[in-house]
Amino acid sequence: MNRPSNELARGNTSKGVWPLLALNFFMADMQSGIGPFLGVFLLAHGWHSGLIGTVMTVGGIAGMLVLTPAGALIDASRHKKLFVVIPGICTVIASGLVLLSQNFWVVTLSQAATAISGGAIVPAVAGITLGIFHQAGFHRQNGHNQVYNHAGNLVGAGLSGLLGWAFGLTKVLWLAAAFGVLSIVSVLLIPSDAIDDDEARGLTRKKKEDKAEVSGFSVLLKNRTLLILAAALACFHLGNGAMLPLYGLAVVSTKQVNPSQFVAITIVVAQGVMMLVSLIATRVGEKHGYWLLLLMAFIALPIRGVVAAFVINRWGVYPVQILDGVGAGLQSVVVPALVARILHGSGRINVGQGAVMTVQGVGAALSPLIGGWIAQEIGYGPTFMILGSFALGSIALWLGFASTLRPACERRDFSRPHGSTTMLAAAE
């Protein structure tokens, strides 16, 4: 729905804010499904780390392939809530598949379905948020969304650990399905007339009677800032993607801990830190911009790799996952807001979100494959060092292209309509 003024959209934000926050809370567990518990679940059924990593990679690639097309569909669609409803249904089905069989192809299909649904829902929620709060309010609301998202992960992980300990890991799958249903209910409670579809895709008009023009898809390839950001994120996730599941396997293999409880602790610690970091990043980003925040996020991974390599025990989970919380918490707030800022005025914000997620998804998808087989050949300790070192590429890109990146990352005032399209031109 296209409305003639920002004032009307702002008047409807109060109607959509609580269902939106509830959606971010429940979709956290829906996105990952059994998530990090999958490795432990399959290990208990006789699988080895190499094959577990392969299944995770196949699922990651499937999710990666739909991100950019999903973003394009979300930009064009006038029914953005469907892109949450359909993934919710897919999550329920995917959880049922793993319950039915631990056959390689069944598990692979389940993980592909979960990854596809999780990939589509992220740009959808970003688009809905932008459509309700517009560019001027997107950074702050996205920060609040991430706090609730991390809180959902924390609660979901805690419940998963409790259910897994008391009733077995199969109950974790039932929980993921329940969160999928609650996500569907939450998004349906958001009033459709609260979402401005032009604002949701980043179209701008100097006057309300002006016709907004959509840029071609080539804007993504021509935008140097966007390409550097995507490449830096790809390097980071190439190392980060396998760190948590492999660390869980490494400690569980020492037989010092209960598997489901330990995996739950790894998630709870990280998500608790992410909640705090998301709040800090929201405030700091509004005042000082994003460049330093992302640099800090990249630096956290090499340190985490070193710590993980030398502290493979039940106590190592705390420093390892605190560092994960710092890196992921900063990125969860900064990256969507930075992409929205870079592409503001293009009408391609959601396809841009999907494209950046696709590129970083390449790294995340390859990470379990690389990490799983390396760990099987040379052990967990050296593998964590290798995985952590991939983020050095991110740091090199961020420092090497600082002169290009800093202007895009600086604090901007989008409350004035006449300055709203300058970022896109400056970034090309």
Question: What is the Cα 52 distance to its own chain's centre?
Answer: 21
| Inter-helix orientation angle 380-389/243-252, to 10° | 170
What are the pLDDT digits (tens) for 196-220? 888 888 876 554 444 555 655 677 8
Q: What angle do CA 60, 63, 66 make, to 5 degrees?
A: 150
- pLDDT > 70? residue 381: yes
* Residue 418 confidence (pLDDT): 41
* Residue 36 confidence (pLDDT): 58
What's the rounded mean pLDDT across residues 396-401?
97
End-to-end C-alpha distance for the chain, whole angstroms: 30
* Alpha carbons 268 and 154: distance in angstroms, whole number: 5
SS3 190: coil
| Inter-helix orientation angle 402-409/391-400, to 10° | 80
Res. 420 pLDDT band, cuts 50 70 90: very low
Q: DSSP of 241-294, one letter per residue?
A: TTHHHHHHHHHHTTT-S-HHHHHHHHHHHHHHHHHHHHHHHHHHHHHH-SHHHH
User: What's this model's pTM, rounded to 2 decimal places?
Assistant: 0.80
What are the pLDDT digits (tens) for 120-168? 788 889 899 999 998 888 989 999 999 998 888 888 877 877 877 777 7
Sign of CA dihedral 172, 174, 175, 179: positive
Report how far apart, in Å, the C-alpha atoms of 329 and of each of 72, 279, 412 are. 26, 9, 22
What are the pLDDT digits (tens) for 64-119? 788 888 888 888 888 889 888 888 887 777 777 777 777 888 888 877 777 777 67
What are the pLDDT digits (tens) for 307-359? 999 998 888 889 999 999 999 999 999 999 999 999 988 888 888 988 998 88
* Residue 373 confidence (pLDDT): 87
Pick the more confident residue, 117 or 282: 282
Do residues 172 and 50 make contact, with C-beta atoms less than 8 angstroms apart?
Answer: no
When the pLDDT of each residue in the chain is averaged and rounded to a whole number, the result is 82
* Alpha carbons 313 and 348: distance in angstroms, whole number: 46
* Alpha carbons 356 and 371: distance in angstroms, whole number: 23
Pick the more confident residue, 24 or 395: 395
* Alpha carbons 210 and 421: distance in angstroms, whole number: 14
From the list 266, 240, 270, 241, the residue with the least C-alpha distance to 251 is 266
* Alpha carbons 138 and 145: distance in angstroms, whole number: 10
From the list 297, 367, 365, the residue with the least C-alpha distance to 332 is 297
Do residues 124 and 155 make contact, with C-beta atoms less than 8 angstroms apart?
Answer: no
